[in-house]
Each structure stands twice: as C-alpha cells, then as structure tokens.
Structure 1
Amino acid sequence: MRLWFAPERVRAEGVTPDYRFSLANERTFLAWLRTALALIGGGFAVDQFLPHLAWGVRAGLALTLLVAGVLCALRAVNHWVRCERAMRRGEDLPVSRFPVLLSLAVAVVAVTMVVVVLFGWEGS
C-alpha cells in the first residue's frame, strides 16, 4: 500500500518496460476507475430514484453497488502497482479473483432488479 503513494519507488525496481505496456497498464487502471464511478453512481441512483422500493431492498442494492465501487477503485490502484512491478521485474502479470467477485456482486444486483421490475417490491 505504501507503493500507491510512491510511484518513484516502483520505477526504481527492475528495468523500464516498453512504454506501450506501461500506458496499457494505465489505461486499464482508468477503465477500473470508470467502472468504480459507474457502480457508485448506480448505488446512488438506486437509493435516490427508487423511493417506493422497500427500504431494506433499496438499501441492500445501493450498498452493494457503493461497496463494489469503493473496492473497485482501491483494487484499481493496487492492480496497477502490481502489474507495473511485475513488468519491471520481467515476471508474469499477477492474477486476481477480484473480477469474478465484482461480476458476481453486479449479477446479484441485476437479478434482484429483474425481480423488482417483474413483481414489484413496494415499501410501506
């Protein structure tokens, strides 16, 4: 986590990779951040624009999306650092289970929303 705030320490390791790879790593980082922003926006949208949804369902869906957005943003910087270090060291790129977990969280929210749309879930 210290490396998140010290990119010069990352650059001090190994050899400088082809710039195209570093720029591709940065584009991936930015794509993760866009995903995080979309998840956070979706969480706020569920909370603000579905007032007739039962409170527990609305809060659960909104919090799932918000937490996924926060985790996605944190994962983005962690993944960027890990990939940059691996490229500089000539190692294989790191693998992660995070995309699967994020996909499952989004799928749970989507299935719940399908149920809400089909059957309603009005609060009192």
Structure 2
Amino acid sequence: MREPAWRKTGKTPDYRFSLANERTFLAWIRTSLALLAGGVAIDQLTPDIAPPPVRVTLCVILALIGAGLAALSYRRWGRMEAAMRQDRELPFSAVMLVMTIVVALAAITFGVLILVAR
C-alpha cells in the first residue's frame, strides 16, 4: 500500500498526539460497527417491530450510515494527522453534529415503532 502524500511533508508530531488521534479514529470505527450491529440486531431480533419493508429499510439505512461513518473517520484521521504535521489548526468536522442528529432520529423512530408495535 502506498504511503499518503501528507506523510512526506512537515515534521512528525509528538507521538502522544498521533496516538490520541488514532484512538479517536478507533472510537469512530467502534461507533460505525455499533450502527451496523444495531441494524442487524433489529432485523434479526425484532421481526415484529415494523412491517418488513419498513424494518429492512431502517436496517439498511443504519448499515449505510455505519459504512459512511467508517469512511469519514479515516478521512478525518488523515486530515488531523496532516494538520499536526504542518503545525496548522485542526480542521473543523461536522461529523459529530451529523451523528448526534442521526442517533437522535434513530432513537425517536425506534421508540415510536416500539410503542406502536405494542
């Protein structure tokens, strides 16, 4: 695998900051896996929560959001690493706001489905 171009510029940051950035990346990966696992669990463990087309659609949406978050987290990790190497301000990321909204909407949606299913 080819090394990213940003690794050849600037100076190597303090390893503690690189490791902190990597831990943050891994936390985002865990979150994306949780979204994927949630989609699978809803489909397999709660077949009566909603009509099959609605349930499958919601599960696919969760899986796609999980996949998108995994891709965005790698991009975010690289941008942070490049900024640290260049002694620049860390770039803003809207991922946290978007994920907050997504999780809140998912909680409301599944809460309503649970109440309606009873």
Q: TM-score, normalised by structure 1?
A: 0.86
Opposite residue 54 of structure 2, the aligned amino acid is: V
2:38 aligns with 42
Give the structure 2 partner of residue 68 of structure 1.
Answer: 65
How far off is 1:8 after superposition? 5.2
CA contact (8 A) 1:64 1:105 kept: no
- Confirm whether residue 118 of structure 1 aligns to residue 115 of structure 2: yes
Whole-angstrom distance in 1 between the partners of 2:26 and 2:52: 33
Say whether 1:101 aligns with 2:94.
Answer: no
> Corresponding residue for 1:26?
22
Aligned to 1:87: 84
RMSD, aligned α-carbons: 1.6
Q: What's the counterpart of residue 10 of structure 1? A: 6
Q: Deviations over 1:76-107 (max 9, x none)?
A: 11001000000000111111112211221221
Identity %: 44
Is contact 1:14–1:89 with CA below 8 Å preserved after alignment?
Answer: yes
Moved >4 Å (runs of 4+): none
> Cα distance, 1:109 vs. partner?
1.2
Distance 1:100 1:7 in 2: 31
Shift of 1:57: 2.3
Report the Cα distance in structure 2 between the residues aligned to 1:107 and 1:64, rounded to whole angstroms.
Answer: 14
Using the size of structure 2 for normalisation, the TM-score is: 0.90
Give the C-alpha shift of residue 9 in structure 1. 2.9
Match of 2:56 in 1: 59
CA distance in 2, matches of 1:93, 1:86: 6
Structure 1: stretches of 5+ with no match in the other structure = none
Unaligned runs of 5+ in 2: none
Secondary structure in structure 1 of the residue aligned to 2:93: coil
